[in-house]
Chain A
Amino acid sequence: MASHGIKDQVAIVGMGCTQFGERWDRSADDLLVDATQECFASTPSITKEDVDAYWLGTLSSGQSGLVLSQPLGIDYKPVTRVENFCATGSEAFRNACYAVACGAYDVVMAVGVEKLKDSGYSGLVTAGRGAGDGTDPGATQTAPAAFSLLDPAYCSKYSVDRGDMREAMTHVAWKNHANGALNPRAQFRSEVPKEKISAAAGKVAGRLGVFDCSGVSDGSAAALIVRAEDAYTYTDRPMFVKALSMVAGPASGPIDPSYDYTTFHEVTHCAQDAYRQAGIDRPREQISLAEVHDCFTPTELVLMEDLGFSERGQAWRDELDGTFNLDGKLPVNPDGGLKSFGHPIGASGLRMLFECWLQFRGEAGDRQLEDPQLGMTHNLGGRPGGCVSFISIVGAEQDG
């Protein structure tokens, strides 16, 4: 049993990402065309005819490879549709990378898309798991409610004052809104004062208010992937894949009293695997930026601990100290994150990679970090106690 990884074996040589948001003017087909066209435009030496295979990620905007092959007019190539909850876009990317690394194809594309705003509902609404026996609490419990379970459990375990915890959650929302304000592709592009965030608290679920929740969005993103040794023939600034890890757990938290709702066991296992693949032993020092799954503000707090960026019980303090601000020691969600960039499920994992891509190329505008070397994308699907976790580590350089 082993997870060998494919460090520095494949590279991204082109990317595209639409504006995320309530795209009343765009269908899923339109968004796919927009993202893939931008992706091709970023690497003019690759055209649609050069792509050997495609991986498409979408949670609920269609089924099968036809969702992509039809709008793009793909001529008889393999197109695989994948789904893995909110980590769907990352899963498309991971499988595409492996196809290149194993030598099956030379050039592949990973694409993610989600069209959520045609549903008529304001929150995330997707097709159910099929009719069951009517006893699954997930049939009625909303996603913000599920993640709000972290808040009282965390305060209780670490004896954190509930007011301090609420302030830390407010800080996460404030930070990611401030970052999103610098991002022209983000769904929400204005800073939100902390007073406004606090005033809205508790109106959605538990102590979560609307500013504690990620944006419900339409959007699409795409990446072109080739073998690392071919990368410089397509672009002078490729982005190399250092680690890819995906973990699904037994999802026993909701039925096993040993789970305490202050961690995602899947993420700690995933992080260990990814750090080992990439050769990272001091993540907080070695990683230049992290795009993490801030679906709700307490999620980001817990992730800082599960990813090894904060000591257990300290993430709330580190957030308040500004450690993860854009100008902090380790910028987290510099592009605004799910919180303000928006969360079109199938596209989000690729959107996170897109920020690393821009940062490494020096194209991140007002959000540009100084000489970033290693980036992390972390994508989570499911709920506390039972989820899938994805982590990629990407780098600006191939290790010598």
Chain B
Amino acid sequence: MDHGILGYATYLPGHRLPFHELRAQLGLGGDGSRVIASYDEDSTTMGVEAARRAVNQGPRPPARPAAIYFATTTPPYLDKTNAAAIHAALDLGHEGFAVDMAGSARSGFGALSAAAHGGGLAVLSDVRTGLPTSAEERGGADAAAAFLFGPADEAAVEIVAAAATTAEFLDRWRLPGEPASHQWEERFGVEVYMPLIREAVGQVRAQAGDAEPDHVVISSAHVRTAATAAKELGARAPALSLGYAGAADLGLRLAAALDEAQPGQTILVVSAVDGCDAVMLRVREPIGQARRGLPVARQLEGGREVTYAQYLMWRGLLDREPPRRPEPERPAAPPAARAEAWKFAFVGSACQQCGQVHVPPRRVCVSCGSVDHMERRPLADQQGTIATYTVDHLAFSPSPPMIDAVVDFEGGGRYTLEVADASPDEVDIGTRLALTFRKLYTTGGVHNYFWKARPI
């Protein structure tokens, strides 16, 4: 592991399932809430949001990672590489490597390990759904984290030591197509996990010179194991009120630790999934500029509460009456491929004669009429204001009503976009918006990824 962390960012969706909804609908006790992805988010879109923060909010010009490792237990596509959409959204052209590490939650550590060995971007993202009344329904979280790895001498976080153990046993599993996972009796798992953790952690601490780490990060779907390990390893009480985020969980907890850690401090990272991955990290001076986007704790604050019924419909666990409109056609492969930079990275064109900005890019300038005098103009990070807007109650939408806004971008360019993460009373002429990568709808077995705008 000759590379270290240059920068990192996380993305927590803005919606919350409050537990008073579970109390009202299911008779379950408890306070608080869990983080949930909106209906238009999946592991790819959340991964894009984390990745673009990690890459674009660092030093200019933005890094162009030569490899993207995408980890999730909920890949939106099989057979097709989901990391390619993240690669496209980062406007990386056709250069470099992109691969999915999908299936088990250990993929999260796998992506970090791969990027640590060869450099590149590890994107960890997941949507964790449990069946109604289950512990995971309440105790899961939907989120993403991205870590940019580069040469160790420039890194803000260096890897001091690493060790792994592996065992075959039945603790948590899910058949392809199932909406939620199964778990064996919890008392069995902790008995198997603890020796695996002790072995890996012992190796790492021996390599690192047996000094006490300043921080301990523990990630495991097995709640009892995580609590037992925390006690044994002297982890401070879990300050993070974030549920288990699957393949993204380790990334979220590591990011939360890095949000707080001081240069010179060490972090022991323990991830227990079908074995144990243990790593000792040391934080270095450039940690300030490695922190990109908002800290995890800040993103946990607030949130938009949804009803339990709404949540179930968003996750596909409750079918709603379809709108009396035909489904839009699925995006066609050739036009989507031709429009790759536009559709996935929101790249327009600017007229070299008069400066008019066009989204989507076009060959004939709408202002001066010049033909084929255009240069590319990426607008994904540009903010805009609403010129006019509407709330469409009849439009085909997975979660009506659909809010549409005509958005004028700073520096030029206009497009009509759906407004995400907002209610109708939050939009008006002049409202300021930023772009966010979302899934407009899924028809004909194809996810239609594109950009929406959300109030700042």
> Hey, which bits of chain A sit against chain B, CB under 8 A?
120-123, 125, 128, 130-135, 137, 139-142, 144-146, 148-150, 152-153, 156, 203-206, 250, 252, 254-258, 260-261
A-B contact pairs, 7 of them (CB 8 A): A122-B324, A140-B392, A140-B441, A144-B394, A204-B394, A256-B356, A256-B414
Cross-chain contact of A133 among B324, B326, B335, B428 (Cβ < 8 A): B335
What is the 8 Å Cβ interface bit string for chain B, positions 411-450, against chain A (1 contact, 0 not)?
Answer: 0111111100000000011000000000011000000111
Which residues from B are CB-within-8-Å of A120? 324
Please tell me if B358 contacts chain A, counting CB pairs below 8 Å. Answer: yes
Q: How far is the CA of A320 from the CA of B96 in the complex (A)?
A: 64
A residues in contact with B256, CB < 8 Å: none
For residue B402, CB closer than 8 A to chain A, the reply is yes
User: In the assembled complex, which residues on chain B have CB atoms less than 8 Å from the CB atom of A134?
Assistant: 330-331, 336, 343, 440, 448-450
**A residues in contact with B356, CB < 8 Å:** 256
A sample of 17 more A-B contacts (CB under 8 A), given A131-B331, A254-B406, is: A125-B326, A134-B331, A134-B450, A140-B328, A140-B395, A140-B396, A140-B440, A142-B394, A145-B395, A150-B388, A204-B394, A205-B395, A255-B358, A255-B359, A257-B387, A257-B413, A261-B387
User: Do A145 and B404 touch (CB < 8 A)?
Assistant: yes
Question: When the two chains form the complex, which single residue of B326, B391, B392 contacts A121, counting CB atoms closer than 8 Å?
Answer: B326
CA distance A204 to B392 in the complex (A): 7
The contact size tier of chain B is 35 or more
> Which residue of the partner chain B has the closest CB to A128?
B329
Assess the A142–B414 pair: CB atoms within 8 A: no
Residues of A within 8 A of B324 (CB): 120-123
By beta carbon, the residue of chain A nearest B384 is A257
Given contacts A142-B325, A145-B395, A257-B408, contact A135 B429 (CB under 8 A): no
Chain A residues with Cβ below 8 Å from B331 are 131-134
Q: Which A residues are in CB contact (< 8 Å) with B390?
A: 145-146, 148-149, 152, 205-206
| Contact pick for B429, options A142, A156, A203, A258, CB 8 Å | A156
Chain B residues, Cβ within 8 Å of A131: 329-332, 335
- Decide yes or no whether B339 CB sits under 8 A from chain A: yes
If A141-B404, A255-B366, A256-B367 touch, whether A149 touches B389 (CB-CB below 8 Å) is yes
A140–B402 touching, CB < 8 Å: yes
Q: Among B387, B392, B413, B415, which residue has its beta carbon within 8 angstroms of that of A260? A: B387
Contact A135 B360 (CB under 8 A): yes
Residue of B328, B330, B342, B416 most packed against chain A (CB within 10 A): B416
- CB-based contact B339/A135 at 8 Å: yes
Q: How far is the CB of B395 from chain A (nearest CB, A)?
A: 5
With most chain A CB atoms within 10 A of its CB, the pick from B404, B412, B429 is: B404
- A132 near B332 with CB under 8 A, answer yes
Q: Within 8 Å of chain A (Cβ to Cβ): is B60?
A: no
**Which residues from chain B contact A257 at a C-beta distance below 8 Å?**
387, 408, 412-414
CB <8 Å contact, B332 and A153: no
Chain B nearest CB: distance from A91 CB in Å?
25
Query: Do B328 and A128 touch across chains, with their CB atoms under 8 A apart?
Result: yes
> Among A121, A135, A205, A257, which residue has the most Cβ atoms of chain B within 10 A?
A135
Residues of B within 8 A of A148 (CB): 390
By beta carbon, the residue of chain A nearest B394 is A142
Contact A152 to B416, CB < 8 A, known contacts A256-B366, A257-B387, A261-B388: no
The residue that A153 contacts in the complex, of B415, B418, B429, with Cβ under 8 A, is B429
Complex CA gap A257/B394 in Å reads 27
* A308–B10 CA distance with the chains assembled, in angstroms: 56
B338 sits at the interface (CB 8 A): yes
Residue numbers in B under 8 Å from A153 (CB-CB) = 387-388, 429
Whether B328 and A139, one on each chain, are in contact in the complex, defined by CB atoms closer than 8 angstroms, is yes
Distance of A161 from chain B, by nearest CB (Å)? 15
Q: Return chain A residues, CB-CB under 8 Å to B448.
A: 134
CB contacts (< 8 Å) of A250 on chain B: these are 366
Query: Which of A125, A128, A139 has its CB near the most chain B CB atoms (within 10 A)?
Result: A139
Asked if B393 lies at the interface with its beta carbon under 8 angstroms from chain A, I say yes
- Give chain A nearest CB distance to B246 CB in angstroms: 28
Complex: chain A residue closest to B328, CB-CB: A139
- In the assembly, what is the distance between CA of A17 and CA of B392, in Å? 33
A212 to chain B, nearest CB (A): 12
* Cβ–Cβ < 8 Å partners of A254 in chain B: 406, 414-416
Please, how many angstroms separate the alpha-carbon atoms of A145 and B448 in the complex?
Answer: 21
Report the minimal beta-carbon distance from B28 to chain A, rounded to whole angstroms: 36
For window 325-356 of B, CB contacts with A under 8 Å fall at 325-326, 328-332, 335-336, 338-339, 342-343, 356
List chain A residues, Cβ under 8 A from B440. Answer: 134, 140
Chain B contacts for A122, CB-based, 8 A: 324
Query: Hey, which chain A residues are within 8 Å of B394, CB to CB?
Result: 123, 142, 144-145, 204-205
Query: Which B residues lie within 8 Å of A150 (CB)?
Result: 388
> Is B219 on the interface with A (CB-CB < 8 A)?
no
Instruction: For B415, give the chain A residue with the smallest CB separation.
Output: A255
A139 to B329 alpha-carbon distance, docked (Å): 8
Docked Cα-Cα span, A122 to B326, in Å, equals 11
CB distance from A268 to the nearest CB of B (A): 18
Q: Are A152 and B412 in contact (CB under 8 A)?
A: no
A125: nearest residue on chain B (CB-CB)?
Answer: B326
- Docked CA distance A128–B331 (Å): 12
State the 6 A-B residue pairs at the shortest beta-carbon distance, nearest first: A134-B331, A131-B332, A145-B392, A252-B366, A206-B390, A153-B388
By beta carbon, the residue of chain A nearest B392 is A145
CA of A271 to CA of B50, assembled, Å: 52
Whole-angstrom distance from the CB of B183 to the nearest CB of chain A? 38
A144–B390 alpha-carbon span in the complex (Å): 9
- Tell me if B397 is interfacial: C-beta within 8 Å of chain A: yes
